[in-house]
Amino acid sequence: MATKKQEDFNLKARDDRFFRAAYTVLDHYQIKKRPELEDGFAVFDICGGTSDYVVRIHPEWNTSPQCSCPDAENRARDNARGYCKHIIAVLLQEKEFSCQLLEAFL
């Protein structure tokens, strides 16, 4: 008999983040990719919200995406495996990195 895997994060919180990212960040914020890699990361400036933030994505998926927003270190860490709305928005917008969204579901 197979045992049901217990989820270690909040599915509703994760799903809410995806909707916020798709609506708020993609429609109302500016996402600007810096022209050069920095320490091996693609870096994106997120402007237009309460504060400006920086998202860092490793092109080879060697590490999880990072964001400088407080939510990435707090609620997103506990409820969505660290994927804040800024990270989700960048991954949705940048097709070359969109496969990294899979990590939020694994």
Least confident window among 26-35, 58-67, 82-91: 82-91
Span between the terminal Cα atoms of the chain, in Å: 22
pLDDT digits (tens, 9 = 90+) for 1-53: 444 444 555 677 777 777 877 788 888 999 999 999 999 999 999 999 889 99
Q: Is the pTM higher than 0.75?
A: yes
Mean pLDDT, the chain, as a whole number? 82
